[in-house]
Amino acid sequence: MSGLKNLMPDSNRRPPAERRSAGQPGAAVPTWFARVTRLLLSTLREIFDESAYSRFLARHEMSSCPSAYAAFLREQEGIKARRPKCC
Amino acid sequence: MTISIRILLWLGVAALGALALGTIALHRGEQINAMWLVVAAFCAYALGYRFYSKFISAKVLALDAQRATPAERLEDGRDFVPTNKWVVFGHHFAAIAGPGPLVGPVLAAQFGYLPGTLWILIGAVFGGCVQDFVILLFSVRRDGKSLTEMAREEIGRVGGFVAYASVISIIVILLAVAALIVVNALKASPWGVFTIAMTVPIALLMGLYLRRLRPGKVLEASALGFILVMLAIWGGQWVSQTPAVAPWFTLTASTLAVVIIIYGFAASALPVWLLLAPRDYLSTFVKLGTIGLLALGIIALRPTLHMPPLTRFIDGSGPIFAGSIFPFAFITIACGAISGFHSLISSGTTPKLIRREPETRMVGYGAMMAESMVAIMATIAACVLEPGTYFAINSPAGIVGQLPEAAVATISGWGFPVTGTGMHALAQAVGEQTLFNRTGGAPAFAVGMAHIFSSSLGGQAVMAIWYHFAIMFEALFILTVLDAGTRVGRFMVQDALGHVWKPLGRTSWYPSILATSALIVAAWGSFLWQGVKDPLGGINSLWPLFGISNQLLATVALCVATTIIVKMGKARYSPVTLVPLAWLVAVTFTASWQKMFDANPRIGFLAHARQLASSAAPSHEISRLIFNDRLDATVTGVLVCMVALILLESAFMWMSVLSGRMQARVKEAPFVPTRFAAEEQG
């Protein structure tokens, strides 16, 4: 599960006490479940280009707005149009 | 876990796998539960991943955890992005999973469940997974270069040209076959046509939501789109049952073909990206959800297989496609076992996301195992049907007869009982006028899926909803393959024509866009038209052509992989890619020869042309069919000759390196140590 460490930035932002309690018996959400959910969401965000949009905003130092998303879509068109879809 | 416990655990997995495979292979005259296939697959994949892929990683490829990948060295936040391995796995799987692993196994089920299942398992573990893994790693070590670039650099100019021509050919044939599957699934089906038509306004709404209301929230928009699609499926029932409305959406195969050809051209040539992008997201959302749902359904409901392990059609007289198990089972099932098209994905986006070199094993080998599991599920979906029902749906009118009575008599005469009233009741249950002659695999898969789910979730009352959900899923996904493929083909042609005359290569110059789009659409459109007008249903000639070109592309990929392994000084390990390469050469060359020259008119294109020429009075229709046969034979011959060229060039390269006449030099990017290793240790 070493790959999961790469998804840790979000969780590391939480206070240590909260992190500890998540893994303890009786905690509302078990740590493994939270990790798997986060992983699944990260995967879906990558597949559905939400992560690409976040990177685009960071790269261009923009905040999310209709014009920023339109610019992102224009950039994506150039990239995705050359990407084959498998049979 | 101690070593002895591990050994015991893996021995247990091997024993369970052997038991499951033995049950699948040796049961005769009794129906078996689908879970035997699932257990056999899980055990085969577990053993293959744990031992074979580890052997390849350590001995053949020598994966280096200290070496920086292009995602790290060239990180730009756009193309090159170091990404978590599980995320890349999901991304790669979503890219390689298409209609192929669903349709191919359904068609190959005409031989029974055994040949397809064995080929899917053995082909994936020793062929498909290996191909995807090694091509991914070699692309990672070459800054994410494409297969055609690697072929040109490592084998030579002929290799590069052949790879390029193979890619173009397979795209054209793939698009034609994909379009034919959609046509056969939607013809005379107002419910299906309405549902698919509704995805256009739904995609526009999603686009509006994404651009105006919640920019970039694709998952939200896709979930919203999914709910609307489900409403459209529900509304489709009303459309199909309303005599005033149903005729608007009741289209013939020819009309649907024309509509799809126009759609393909518009998607490639017009600035409709804002419509296509949300539809693409919606299609991916539905695809991943459906695959997950089917997996859960099979495991939870554990259906019984009604198809025998082997049918009488192993002799080559099958109604769905003619030809014996060898070689036709192995080209009919491509994507679930080994697919050349995957090498394009493995040398496309994925290598630019890989964070650490050892992760190529999980992404390349592992994602193909998941794709192979999808093919096993498709086999199950086809084989849960009564064989008579399966053959009634999949057999073309040219074989079993136009009228239901004739089809019932023919299929029952083969030893697979089916009745007209039973088929009529089934058609009514799924909301169709008829299920006879619905060739292409998609309707049979949809009926199988509806059959599995309706046995518990909602019962017979919602069988029609399940059927149309499956049809919508396949048609929607295939249409996105169609528009994406047409655009990719257009760019490839523009790139090539740009060498002849520069303006033609400019992707923003409208005359070039229109001309190259028309060229690509005309190429696949003509094959589609041929399939629609084919009295044998089209699938008989086009699916083998697709299988041959896909496996020939895999041959090219394995030539590249073997050449690099030999040049790496690892020739003693070259059988890892050489054995699947030899198998594919045997399969594709035999299939090509038979498709061109076999004396049986149902198999050989030229024999069929001769039969038409001698038995019928000359007419425009007959002349066109004869021309189509000769065209198919020529395309097959040209593809085989090109791949023979790359084989010869590769073999010459291997001999030169091994005899010392040529200094082996691989063209990898220079070694740069990764910073991630230190970060992880720290």
- For testing the chain A interface, which of B83, B86, B486 should be mutated: the one with the most A CBs within 10 Å? B86
Distance CA B94, CA B286 (A): 11
Q: Which of B219, B348, B359 sits opposite A50 (nearest CB)?
A: B219
Residue B346 to chain A, least CA–CA distance (Å)? 11
> What is the tens place of the pLDDT at every residue in B485-527?
898 888 889 988 988 888 888 877 889 999 999 999 999 999 9
Indicate if the pLDDT at residue A6 is higher than 70: no
Closest chain B residue by Cα to residue A58 = B77
User: Hey, what amino acid is at B346?
Assistant: S
- Whether the CB of B77 is below 8 Å from some CB of chain A: the reply is yes
Q: Which of A47, A55, A82 sits opposite B90 (nearest CB)?
A: A47
> What is the tens place of the pLDDT at every residue in B625-679?
899 899 999 999 999 998 899 999 999 999 999 999 998 888 999 999 999 988 7
What are the boundaries of each domain within chain B? Answer: 8-188+251-659
Residue A80 to chain B, least CA–CA distance (Å)? 8
What is the pLDDT, as a whole number, of residue B367? Answer: 95
Q: Burial letters for B272-309: b for 16+ Cβ neighbours within 10 Å, e otherwise?
A: ebbbbbbbbbbbbbbbbebbebbbebbeebebebbbbb
What is the pLDDT, as a whole number, of residue B679? Answer: 78
Task: Tell which wins on pLDDT, B77 or B600.
Answer: B600
Give me B41's structure tokens.
């697959």
Distance CA B515, CA B284 (A): 30
Q: Which of A64, A76, A85 sits opposite B480 (nearest CB)?
A: A85
3-state secondary structure (DSSP) of residue B500: helix
ipTM: 0.79
Distance CA B160, CA B85 (A): 30
HSE-up (13 A, CA, CB side) for residue B341 = 33
Return the axis-axis angle of helices B325-332 and B539-567, rounded to nearest 10°: 80
- Whether the CB of A55 is below 8 Å from some CB of chain B: the reply is yes
Is A58 close to B77, i.e. CB distance below 8 A? yes
Residue B272 to chain A, least CA–CA distance (Å)? 10
Taking CB atoms and an 8 Å cutoff, what residues of chain B touch A56?
A: 77-78
Distance CA B589, CA B637 (A): 10
> What is the tens place of the pLDDT at every residue in B47-76?
999 999 999 999 999 999 999 999 999 998
Is A46 close to B284, i.e. CB distance below 8 A? no
**CA distances (Å), origin A36, targets A5, A32, B123, B356, B405:** 12, 6, 31, 21, 55
What is the pLDDT, as a whole number, of residue A25? Answer: 55
Which CATH architecture fits B8-188+251-659?
Up-down Bundle (1.20)
- Whether the CB of B482 is below 8 Å from some CB of chain A: the reply is no
Q: What are the start-end ranges of the H helices in B3-96?
A: 3-26, 35-47, 54-55, 70-73, 85-96
Is B218 close to A39, i.e. CB distance below 8 A? no
What are the boundaries of each domain within chain A? Answer: 13-48, 49-87
Taking CB atoms and an 8 Å cutoff, what residues of chain A touch B480?
A: 85
Lowest mean pLDDT among A16-25, B176-185, B403-412, B476-485: A16-25
